[in-house]
Amino acid sequence: MPRNRKLLIVGVGALSAALIVSLVALKVSKNSASALPSPSDSQTLAQPENKTPAAVATAAAVRDNLARPIPSVQFAKTETPPNALTPRTPQQLVSEILEISSTEGPITAEQAEKFKRNLEELIKQGAVSIPAIRELLDKKMEFDYADVPGGEQMGYASLRAGLLDALRQIGGPEAQEAMVQVLQTSALPAELLAIANNLDQEAPGQYREQILYAARESIAMAATNPAAANIELGPAFRILQNYGDANTTFDAAKNEPANFNNAINLANMPEGQGLAALVQMAENSSSASGQTIATEMIAQMAGQNSKAVDTLMQMAQNGQISNSTWEKLAPILGGDQYQVANPSSQSPSDAQSSGFTIINNATTADQINQRIALIDQLLGVVPSDSAAAASLRNQHNLLSGKLGK
């Protein structure tokens, strides 16, 4: 009997051990993400105070059948940075672009590559990037990469050039709105020309008035602000020629070929015999393009005829020449001359296909100086702060540059 009691006690002890291990296994399975008992701990929990071989064997069998998580996998999950797969925001990308652009030391290949990657990511994110780009452009900050060693690796001449090209590639109404905003606040002619080309490519003709207004404002600012005296105005005048009334000459050649050819022939008559007819045409023509081409031909004659000079001076003093017409007169006063196109000429230019060719008669030093003197005379009669004066001064500078070569 005592022997049976001992067996019963052992059996009860083994059963108790199995129940305890089962409870431990259930707890481990529920909390596997927090703490996993080591084998020695499981054994301690599984065995009663008086360990027996049967109890140990039963506990080991239950423990070996438990499904355990793999510690290394769980560790890898908890150590992964929470934002490793999250794309950087446009603000972060723009901030890094600004940091690279503002460096004073040499730009390294790694920095240039990072700049390009960030710009590509901004473009890839699309319209979401536009507010961040626009915010930086609104700050009117600029960094010229040509001034920094290694800047040629950047792919753009400057920070703003890169941002504006990003807007062009993103495209759409929001990008157009951002470019128009820059158009209204920038006074840099080269930047205005780039924006004008971008906008006209995206929405042909839609922003013509804003483009022309920005160009004329830039020219007027250069005329009145001494700090802007050294700004290169060539791109602003190119805007006026490409998008403004400068196409009047081409329109007149196409739409009024008889009057157009007549005006050129009058200007080329010997001894200024066609001047009176041109003056009448400038005053009484039924079309604006006819008046403009007649005034242009009077300016063309002024290069060789003193009476034409006096006529042009009188017209300027009387306010008969608009600012947009002065924009076209300036190159003519600088030496450009219209001639009726030769129809047999091969590979005709745009001008030739419109019925005329343009040659420049100011090639020698004497001819250039004579043109400069003529422009100086006209600068004496137009308001110094007018777009007319800015147009004439720009042409004056171009002629002076020829003498310096």
| pTM tops 0.75, yes or no | no
Q: In the prediction, which pLDDT does 122 show?
A: 97
Q: In the prediction, which pLDDT does 16 show?
A: 43
DSSP class of residue 153 equals G
- Rounded to whole angstroms, the Cα distance separating 214 from 185 reads 8
238 belongs to a structural domain: no
What does the pLDDT average to over 336-352?
A: 60
| Domain that includes residue 56, residue range | 2-79
Among 97-106, 311-320, 345-354, the minimum mean pLDDT is found in 345-354
Top-confidence residue, 87 or 70:
87
Asked whether residue 55 falls in the same domain as residue 120, the answer is no
Top-confidence residue, 331 or 117:
117
Two structure tokens written together for 224: 């009145």
Residue 33 has pLDDT above 90, yes or no: no
Asked whether residue 250 falls in the same domain as residue 390, the answer is yes
Q: What is the DSSP string of 245-283?
A: GGGHHHHHHHH-HHHHHHHHHHHTSGGGTTHHHHHHHHH
What does the pLDDT average to over 194-199?
A: 93
Beta strands in 91-154 (DSSP E): none
Residues 6+ apart with CB under 8 A from 112: 100, 150, 153, 154, 155
Highest mean pLDDT among 30-44, 96-110, 259-273: 96-110
Residue 340 has pLDDT above 80, yes or no: no
Asked whether residue 112 falls in the same domain as residue 222, the answer is yes
84 belongs to a structural domain: no
- Rounded to whole angstroms, the Cα distance separating 370 from 306 reads 12
Asked whether residue 250 falls in the same domain as residue 383, the answer is yes
Residues 6+ apart with CB under 8 A from 32: 68, 69
What does the pLDDT average to over 330-338?
A: 89
Residue 308 has pLDDT above 90, yes or no: yes
239 belongs to a structural domain: no
Q: In the prediction, which pLDDT does 93 show?
A: 96
Asked whether residue 398 falls in the same domain as residue 340, the answer is yes
- In Å, the largest CA–CA distance within the chain is 152
Query: Of 177, 203, 232, which residue sits at a domain end?
Result: 232
Asked whether residue 278 falls in the same domain as residue 200, the answer is no
Residue 302 has pLDDT above 60, yes or no: yes
164 belongs to a structural domain: yes
Q: How confident is the model at residue 255 (pLDDT cuts 50, 70, 90)?
A: low
Top-confidence residue, 259 or 48:
259
Among 66-75, 77-86, 89-98, 261-270, the minimum mean pLDDT is found in 66-75
Among 57-66, 190-199, 245-254, 308-317, the minimum mean pLDDT is found in 57-66
Q: In the prediction, which pLDDT does 247 show?
A: 53
Asked whether residue 114 falls in the same domain as residue 182, the answer is yes
Q: How confident is the model at residue 234 (pLDDT cuts 50, 70, 90)?
A: confident
Query: Of 177, 211, 232, which residue sits at a domain end?
Result: 232
Q: In the prediction, which pLDDT does 136 show?
A: 96
Distances (CA, A) of 105 to 137, 150, 153: 23, 9, 14
Domain count, the chain: 3
Q: In the prediction, which pLDDT does 347 show?
A: 46
237 belongs to a structural domain: no
Asked whether residue 335 falls in the same domain as residue 365, the answer is yes
Q: In the prediction, which pLDDT does 80 show?
A: 42
What does the pLDDT average to over 83-101?
A: 86
Query: Of 79, 105, 128, which residue sits at a domain end?
Result: 79
Asked whether residue 308 falls in the same domain as residue 388, the answer is yes
Residue 351 has pLDDT above 60, yes or no: no
Asked whether residue 397 falls in the same domain as residue 276, the answer is yes
What does the buried/exposed string (b/e) look like for 268-300 if buried means 16 or more CB atoms within 10 Å of the residue's CB? eeeebebbebbbebbeebeeebbbbbbbbbbbb
Asked whether residue 253 falls in the same domain as residue 388, the answer is yes
240 belongs to a structural domain: no
How do residues 5-32 score in pLDDT, each as one tens digit?
333 333 344 434 444 444 444 444 444 4
Asked whether residue 144 falls in the same domain as residue 282, the answer is no
